Structures are given as C-alpha cells and as structure tokens.
Chain A
C-alpha cells in the first residue's frame, strides 16, 4: 500500500530526495508503534493491579493521607507542556528552522522533563515521611509499582533526548537522527497519555474509592 504524500507521521515525508529514507523511517516508526503497544500492556496491567489492590491498605496510610493534588496538578501541566514542546522541537528539525529554535525547544523539553521528575520524587519523599512506603501495604506496593514506572520512562526519555541532542551536534541533521527524534516525540506523547490514565485512575480513582 502506497502512502499518500501528505504527512503520515509527524516528521516523515522528509522531501522528495529522501524517498528511500522515508520508506525506512516508515518501517521503523511502525515498529516503534508496535513496541509502544506492548509497553501499553505493561502499564494497563499495572493499572488493573492497582484497581484490585486499592483496598489492600492493611491499616496503613491511604490516598487521602498521601496524595497531594496541588503537586499532581503542577506535574500534569508540566508534562502536558513538554508534550507540546517536544512536538515543536521535532517540527523545527523537520522544517529546517534556524538552529537556535531547535536548541530552544529541545532545551525547554528537557528542563520540563527534569522538573516533572523532581516534583515526582519530592512527592514520593513526602509520602514516605507519612509512612507511605511500598513495604507498608499491598496498596502502596501497587502505587509504587505503577507511578515510578512511568517516572522511569520519563527519565529514559530525558536520557534519550540528551543523546539525540549530542547526535544532532556531532552528526548533524541526518535522516537517521531526524527519524529518531520522531520516535522520541511519539514516546513522549505516549507517556503523556499514560499520565492522563494515572491522574484519572491512580489519583482521582484512589481518592474516590480508596
């Protein structure tokens, strides 16, 4: 099946002289989609486990004592904004915008990603002070099996961002690097989707049913 020449993925259709690179990028991007779906099952099951363990608090602290919605709100806004900026970084690369713009959006995304992680770790530390450690109950085990898993993904995304930044500098804007940035953006958007699930099910769901 031949793809229509309009943008099929953000960033593919690199231009006419890149026809073979387009084909390669299409295969890799589709493969990455399949990987994301596999990863989605990991998260989906952790959500299911969390739901089944929401009551297993074993007398330990529960959602009402532990969750800090203000911090969650801030994290949500930061992650959402980083999802926009990573998209803009990719567009800047794809459309050959001046170097400064590329660096700017890459930098902003990285700073937002790291701030998200800092806030998240602060939350965990605050929870630990109130006795909310994973060793305390099944509910807390499920919480710490899921939310830090997402955090770990964000951290991996940050590392990936740094590596791609270096590759852009060393190798220049080759087709391979651009196609990697496309996948990083997909990954980042995917993590934002998971985060929507986390605020809806883990935090609001926890507060409602916990």
Chain B
C-alpha cells in the first residue's frame, strides 16, 4: 500500500461524505447512516445556536473550558460521557433491531453492522465508562481526602482535552468517511492495510492512542493525589473505600494503558509505514497483537469495575447508617483483584492454540478472582445486615447490582474453564456475560454515584420518583435484553453476526429488541429526571451540604462546595471522620483563624491541545501530511510556551474565606436537622439528624 501518492487534502474527497452514498444508492442502510450523520450535524448546530442565543460563549470559556477546578472538570467528563452514552445505547438498539428482523431480513448491510458494533464497543469502553468513572472520581476524590484539588490540576485539564478530542473523532467518523469494522479489539490482519485500506482502522487507532494518553495522565494524577495529598491524620487505613478503589484503578491505568498504546502504535506502523509486526507475510505475527491487546484489556475491565465497587461501598454504608463491614478485608480484596487482573489476560484467547497447560494456568488464575470478589459481596451484604436501610435511588441501584452482578460474575467463572470456553467462545453467551458485569457493575454504579453525589455538586437533590423509574427501567431493560443472549449463545449463535439462518434464534432476538427499547426509555428517564429536578430545584435545595447523613469528608462542606473546597483543611482522626464528628457533636466547628488560600489559575492549554490533537488525528487519518506536521509542531510549541508562564497561582484572601465560611456556618446553625424518614422531602435542607440508634 502506498501512502505517498496523495494531494493537498490527502485522500479526502467528496466520496467520504455519507450523502454521496445516499444519492448513488438510496436504501435503508444509507438512510440510517445519513440520519446518524445528520443527528451529529444538527446537534452541533443546536448547541452552537443555543450558546449564541443565550450569549453563553464568554461564561463557557471563562468558567468551564479554561477552568482547572477538579469539580468542574469532573462535571465536564460526566456530561461528555452521557452524550456518548446516548450514542452507544442507540447503536445497540439498531443492532438488536437488525437481528430481531430475522434471518436474512435485516435493513443494514454487513459492513454497516460491523461499523456499529465496532463503534458501540469503542465508545462504551473508552468514551463512556472511562470518562464517567474518572469524572465522578475527579469530583469526589479530592473532597473525600480533604484536599483543595488534585495533585496536577493543569494536567487534569489536558487529560480531559485529549479524551474529548479523541471522542470527537468518533463523531467525525459518522460524517466524514467510515469508522473501523474491526470490532473494538481491532484484530489484525483484518485491520491491517492489506485487508482494510480505508480510513476506518485509522480512526480507531488515533482515537485510542490519544484517549489512552489522556487516561494515562489521569491515572498518574490520581495515584499521586491519593498518595500525597491526603489531609493530615488520614492514614491509608482511614482512607474511604472509594478512594482505595480509585488508587487501585489508577495503578491499573498506569501499567495497563501502555500495552494498548504499544499495540495501537504498532498497528499504525504496519498500516502507515509498511512494518511487519502483525502482517501475514515477512515474519509478522498477529498473535502478538491479541496478546498485547488483552494485557491491556483485562486490567481495563477491573479499572472500570473497581471504582464502581467503591461507590457501592459508600452507598451501602451511608444508606444503611452503618460503618462499612469488613473494611480491612475489602481493602485486601481490592488490592488482590488489582494484582490478579494482570495475570489472567490469556483467558480472552483460550482458543488461539497454546498448550493445555498454559490454558489451565490462566483459567485457574481467572477463577481465583472470584474469591476476593466473593469477599466483597459478603461484606456488602453484612453491611446491610441489621442496618437501618433506606431504599433511596442509589441504594436501589446497589441492590439491583448485588443480585445481577453475581449472575454475571458466575457466568464469568464458567467461561474461565477453557473446555467450556471452547464451546461458547465468540457466541452471544460471551456478549451476555460481559454486559451482565458491565451494566449492573459499572453503569449502575455510576448512575448510583450520579444520584448520590449530585446534590453535593449542584446543591439540590435529583427527583426521587424519576430516579426510581429509571432504576426499574434499567434493571428490566437489562434483563430483557441480555438474559436471552445467554440462551442463544448456548444454542450457538455467533456474536457480531448481522444475519443468521436458524429461525429458532428469532424469538430470543425479539425479546432482546423489546429490552433494548426499554433501555432506551431508561436513558430518556435519566434525562427527564434531570429536567424535572432542575425545574423543581427550589423544593430540594440542600445548601448545608449533608442530605444523606453522609459519613465521609465531602459531606462536611457546603453544597455546592466553594472553589477551594475546605475553608480549613480538616484534621482526620477516624475512618468515617464526618460520621464520628456528628456523633460526638463536633461537626461544623468554628475555626480559630483563616489563612490565604492559593489556587491554580485558569489556563487554556487543555483546550488548545484538545483542538490541536483533534486536527492532528484528522490529518493523520486522511493522510494530510503537511497538516499533521504543522499540528505536531504546534502541540510541542504550545506546551513549551505554556511552561514559560509563571503566574500560575491565584490567592484567595483569608478575609474572603472567613466571610463565606461564617455565612455558611450561620446557615448551618439556623436550619433544623431532619430525621432520615424525611430525607426525600423538601424539609431536607442538608442538615442531618444523626441516627444515634444505628451506631450502637
């Protein structure tokens, strides 16, 4: 393949636009593709229009895009994740619809179907789960450990910028050209230049490389934040469980993202420079790719699910009004899972041809992970045991998780047996398994976190009614969509098939499409919940900041928190610091003195790198070499120039801190504390009456 014979715009021309396909060949397939492209374009136009109409460009730039406040960066991550989630869910629905249409009756072409499952997987893992997990972590971790920000606030902004620009590449691929058809794993030689000379795999490669860099920087940032920035007195064994899971997750990122980067860049070298890492000829070895990819891929699923475990740990403890049961065993279990996750990658390719001994070793290592996970499940149940349980929305997500996740986990233990795996590998059984751990595990956890910490971030609670509706819809939709897949998987239906011959699969596929539609409703119910909650926010304000009788430090400050988080950095003496303080009557102390607070100043470097790296990726995908070179130079220059900037800190005078803090303390003393029974009523202004009975 030659990469030299290209013009000023590389290989970019009008054929790259989907409308060209529609004009030449109008059919259902092209209509779906064009609708998707139109939605992207209309979405951009609407957003730009609204921002201009309400004159929001200046506030957007000043308060958000250039902000280095971990709280705002966290919120931007979550917004980005939810936008991408919408696309991912809709793609899932289109795929289920295609399969429900029955043998040979689908409305999509095979190529288009392959594009759908490739983008669906890539988006859900890299642009929904990761940014959502780290969006929540961004918001919560510094508040939990009593810090004013993360260790490297400006780096944090750069991470966000790179993640978003990579995600935008997937949106661009809807409008210009085609995305990869190689699945989210992009195995060569299928994705190599010989079989796939188009732009699809290149979109995948650069989106993965750039978002991978962003994620790695986030991992470094959070490992260092939790390691070095804990409040005085917060020893490791006083660290909230959620922070433990984030530190383990960060360690997984630091060590597991490089294999992905290596694999993707080697694939790029094969495609662009005619190397022979994974080609069929001249000594290339595509098995190296599978090995590298899963060296990343397996730790990846744990880096997603561990933070969800942490969220559930906080939710179960808070809404049972009890100390988390078995803290030490949970910490050990989390660390064990993190380390074990590096020893099991081969179970993703049991059938590649290595000896039975190797398969057995990795199979046993995989089954071992069930032990620490089981410890966790029992610890959570013991936390609920004899607690004063309130069935609020996060708790409902948690209970749904406990029941469904165990099923998903056990189907994983079944798959860990290589002999069984030979039977069901590459069938929908596997698809059912990983959706069964990723939806109840990761997504429900993140939605629980969203409901749990939303009042902290915005100062008002989310609608309880619509929250319950969405729990029911997500749970029901999940069951309807993915339980049938276990059955058709066992019956032998291969995954990723755009059509099939066996009519006995069809009834299951019809149940699955109904489930997919319920999931769509669930997605809308989340948006309705947000809309209703914003509309009725005056009935649910919690300015004092502790609506759930929380146990950790983030609940001891106002909602929403001031930019510096803590007027006075707390001195920690216990694991459930704030719960202990409330029990002793020592919560909301009046400080003796205030100090000037230094905060990082706004900067545009993250936004600049977001735009430059976006153009850079586009240029590389379309072989516009001059533009790629210019962007490379500009990115390096941007970073160098930025390091010359000395005025990076901003001082908030002690007097201002005192004024704000005292006003809030006066509010605390003027409010009446509410009992847990009235937690969801307008009386809850964020001052909790501790449930003393439950402490005994």
Contact = CB atoms under 8 A, between A and B. Distances in A.
Chains A and B share a contact (CB less than 8 Å) = yes
Interface of A: 26-28, 30-31, 34-35, 37-39, 41-42, 45-46, 49, 52-53, 56-58, 60, 134-142, 144-145, 159, 163, 167, 170-171, 174, 176, 180
B195 interface: no
Given A38-B216, A38-B257, A167 B275 contact: no
B246 interface: no
Contacts of B255: 37-38, 41
Contacts, number: 107
Contact of B269 (A37, A57, A141, A163): A141
Contact of A38 (B228, B254, B275): B254
A60 B643 CA distance: 46
Interface of B: 151-152, 216, 219-221, 223-224, 227-229, 254-255, 257-259, 261-262, 266, 269-270, 273-277, 281-285, 288, 292, 295, 636, 640, 643-644, 646
Nearest to B228: A27
A49 B263 CA distance: 10
B351 to A, nearest CB: 20
B266 A145 contact: yes
Contact of A145 (B221, B259, B274, B277): B277
A27 B643 contact: no
Contacts of A57: 283
Given A31-B221, A38-B216, A137 B282 contact: yes
Contact of A30 (B228, B269, B644): B228
Main DSSP-derived SS at the B contact region: helix
26 contacts: A27-B224, A27-B229, A30-B227, A37-B254, A37-B255, A38-B220, A41-B258, A42-B258, A52-B285, A53-B277, A56-B283, A58-B282, A134-B275, A134-B276, A136-B276, A136-B282, A137-B282, A138-B276, A138-B282, A138-B285, A141-B270, A145-B266, A145-B277, A163-B640, A167-B644, A170-B644
Contacts of A28: 152
B258 A31 contact: no
Contact of B288 (A49, A137, A159): A49
B224 A34 contact: yes
Nearest to B224: A31
Nearest to A180: B643
A163 B257 contact: no
B228 A26 contact: yes
Contacts of B270: 141
Given A26-B228, A34-B220, A171 B646 contact: yes
A34 B223 contact: yes
Contacts of A58: 276, 281-283
B288 A41 contact: no
Given A138-B283, A145-B269, A42 B262 contact: yes
A135 B643 contact: no
Given A27-B228, A45-B295, A142-B277, A137 B216 contact: no
